[in-house]
Amino acid sequence: MSDQLGFDGKVVIITGAGGGLGRQHALLMAARGALVVINDLGGAVDGSGSDKGAAERVVDEIKALGGEAVADTNSVATPAGGKAIVQTALDAYGKVDVLVNNAGILRDKSFHNLTFAEGEPDLLNPVLDVHLKGAFYVTQPAWVVMREQGYGRIISTSSAAGIFGNFGQTNYGAAKMGLVGFTRVLAVEGAKYNIKANAIAPLALTRMTENIMGGLGDKLDPGLVSPLVAFLAHDDCPVSGQVFSVGGGRVAHVFIAETKGFYQHDLTVEAVRDNWATVTDQTGYGVPNNLGEETALFLPFFA
Ligand code: NAI
């Protein structure tokens, strides 16, 4: 018996799968038996334009390799688009087991120069609409199905630009860190329905990053991100609510930790100043997985 991780009969929706990372996730899971919805609007990196051919070409590629897939060219960026994407899966395959929120665009600008007022180029709303609200719009109709069937795997594509910070990406970084909060709450709400939600922060050479990778580019094959996505999409996925950094063959756990902290029942401004070293001392930090576990970190001080 082989211990290869298979996806026989699993229905997988991947948004933005007409190229880059999404295409690689699709090729990998289709090769292992998944029935894949290849969603892609087919626009430019900044989100302008559309090309129905992007999704169709990946479907053709999968079919030529003996796999099964269907194209969907709706935008993730509206509630109607999100519903239509999930409906494509239901019409073609009757259920949804896995959703990979991957569609994305960039409108980088330093915060000082970021425009979004009426009459100005909108560098904010389309970025939030595709990455953050788009995840709501596609995930909720999928969630209804997953909850009903008592099974689901959701992988959302975050970014180190938001988790750790990067110049010129307040819009994108906020949307991407928003997906971490989204993922952590979904993990809490999905636990009793066997719905697991996790997020990845990938690093890969794609059209989105080709101008910024420099010498690292040839180490960052986008196909090296997909094994983690497939593992998180699998029945055997051991975690929920977690974030992983992945690129070029490296996989690492990104976790949100909290120091033990300083406590004084009558806290003053000067006490904060004078005990700053204790506030920030990372010795014995905690890694709470939800709000309840975080609140529990206060309790030893109140005993
Ligand atoms: P990409 O540009 O090749 O892929 C993004 C895909 O999303 C495109 O095919 C695009 O047509 C599609 N898309 C955009 N707006 C859409 C919409 N409204 N509806 C449906 N599809 C839409 O770039 P890449 O690198 O493959 O990006 C995939 C995801 O990974 C994105 O969310 C990106 O922000 C994220 N990411 C990528 C990193 C990298 O190093 N390549 C780093 C961190 C995050």
Domains, the chain, in order of start with CATH, read: 11-254 (3.40.50.720), 269-302 (no CATH)
Ligand 1 centre from 288 Cα, in Å?
A: 30
Max CA-CA distance within the chain? 70
Q: What is the pLDDT of residues 127-166, one digit of tens each?
A: 999 999 999 999 999 999 999 999 999 999 999 999 999 9
Q: Report the C-alpha gap between 61 and 57 in whole angstroms.
A: 6
Q: Report the C-alpha gap between 133 and 94 in whole angstroms.
A: 25
Q: What is the pLDDT of residue 1?
A: 45
Q: What is the pLDDT of residue 2?
A: 62
Q: Residue 41 is which amino acid?
A: L
| φ and ψ at residue 50, rounded to 5 degrees | -160, 155
Question: Is 172 a residue of the active site?
Answer: yes
Sheet holding 152-157, edge to edge: 68-72, 35-39, 11-14, 98-101, 152-157, 195-202, 243-247, 250-254
Protein residue whose Cα sits closest to atom 34 of ligand 1: 104
Whether 213 lines ligand 1, by a CB cut-off of 6 Å, is no
CA distances from 79 to 85, 116, 128, 129, 137 (A): 10, 22, 14, 10, 5
All residue ranges of the chain with pLDDT < 50 are 1
Tokens of 211: 């101008």
Ligand 1 pocket test: pick from 23, 108, 208, 224 the residue with the most ligand atoms within 8 Å of its Cβ: 208
Whether 105 lines ligand 1, by a CB cut-off of 6 Å, is yes
| φ and ψ at residue 264, rounded to 5 degrees | -145, 125
Q: Report the C-alpha gap between 53 and 299 in whole angstroms.
A: 57
Query: Are 154 and 198 spatial neighbours (Cβ–Cβ below 8 Å)?
Result: yes
Of ligand 1's listed atoms, the one at least distance from the Cα of 18 is: 9
Query: Are 137 and 73 spatial neighbours (Cβ–Cβ below 8 Å)?
Result: no
Tokens of 200: 């990845």
